Amino acid sequence: MQPKNKLNNLGYVLPALIFIISIFLIPIVYTVVISFFNWNLLRPDLGVRFVGLQNYIRAFRDSFTWETMGRTFYFVIVSVLLELIFGFIIALSLNTEFKGWKVVQSIILIPFMIAPVVVGFAWKFVLNNDYGPLPQLLMNIGFSSIAENPLLANPNSAMFMVILADVWEYTPFVTLVLLAGLKALPQEPYEAAYVDGASAIQRFFYITLPLLRPSIMVAIVIRTLTSLRVFDTIFIMTGGGPGSATETLSFYGYRTAFQSYQMGYSSAINLISFFLAIVFTLIYMKILGWDNNE
């Protein structure tokens, strides 16, 4: 390739490179660097001091970090599992074309197109004990205890209410990914299995699931990565409460930075969340048998 062509090609990709570096790479590098410093905005007299791995050691020694990590695991596992189950059911239902199926598909995708902040406000309204339709319905059918223990103010139910909002919002995304995978599946294995007398259940477990594994992998990994950094919905619906019942690791990082003003420690917490995302991804790849040969 001639130097002039190389220069032209570089000009084509340069805007994208600048965008990626400025939006993604620089903030990540900055966060990594800050995590090795003690930087408290409430104590400017101390300045910014290099402390090495002390922020990470402090985080792992702090019992509250482990509590938030446990809540994060619970949120991720339950929400992603429910989204995968409901997404699979809806995708299988929409895989057969019927009259008006495009309209139904468009309606199902509406929650995914709503901003998480709006979703938080919507579900906070739905779950409000004074005028929310869900608490009123539950109280009318006999769950009178909700009047004294509101769903969002009860430590035993607050986290599941947040998960419910998350599942409502992101199940359409999982449905879309799985439906695209179902539409792309070859028909020859199904025809051969039908001729051999395989039942619908056998065709599902021995043909559909194995062939759909790449789509399942994509849906699980993307949803895990986004669930690990959930913030907007929790901030609007519960603010991390009641107490700390819905405070996840990413929310803890926010509170440490913008309420306690410990920027170095907050950066370390956020990077721990980032490494957890990598660990989850590797575990999924191992469980689903994902390798470069597939």
pLDDT, tens digit, 9 for 90 and up, residues 68-101: 999 999 999 999 999 999 999 999 888 877 777 7
pLDDT, tens digit, 9 for 90 and up, residues 253-278: 999 998 889 999 999 999 998 888 88
The pLDDT assigned to 42 comes to: 83
* pTM of structure: 0.87
The pLDDT assigned to 289 comes to: 64
**Residue 95 belongs to what H/E stretch?**
none
Does residue 115 register a pLDDT over 70?
yes
Lowest mean pLDDT among 142-151, 242-251, 258-267: 142-151
What mean pLDDT do residues 233-238 have? 93
Q: Is the dihedral of CA 255, 30, 35, 48 positive or negative?
A: negative
Lowest mean pLDDT among 60-74, 196-210, 242-256: 196-210
- Is residue 290 a contact partner of residue 273, using CB atoms and an 8 Å limit? no
Task: Please state, rounded to an integer, the average pLDDT across all residues of the chain.
Answer: 86
Half-sphere exposure of 103 (CA within 13 A, CB side): 3
Does residue 45 register a pLDDT over 60?
yes
What mean pLDDT do residues 177-203 have? 87
75 burial class (0-12, 13-18, 19+ CB within 10 angstroms)? buried
Lowest mean pLDDT among 8-12, 112-116, 278-282: 8-12
Q: Return d(Cα 120, Cα 98) in angstroms, integer.
A: 33
The pLDDT assigned to 294 comes to: 47
Does residue 284 register a pLDDT over 90?
no
Domain residues of the chain, as ranges?
A: 62-247
Q: Residue type at 127?
A: L
What mean pLDDT do residues 180-209 have? 87
What topology does CATH give the domain 62-247?
MetI-like fold (1.10.3720)
Does residue 13 register a pLDDT over 90?
no
Q: Strand 48-50 vs strand 37-39: parallel, antiparallel, or unpaired? A: antiparallel
Residue 23 to residues 11, 29, 79, 116, 228, Cα–Cα distance (Å): 19, 11, 28, 21, 20
User: For residue 150, how many other CB atoms are within 10 A of its CB?
Assistant: 18
- Is residue 86 a contact partner of residue 171, using CB atoms and an 8 Å limit? yes
Q: Which residue has the higher pLDDT, 12 or 185?
A: 185
Task: Report cis status (omega within 30 of 0) of the bond before 133.
Answer: no
**Residue 38 belongs to what H/E stretch?**
strand 37-39
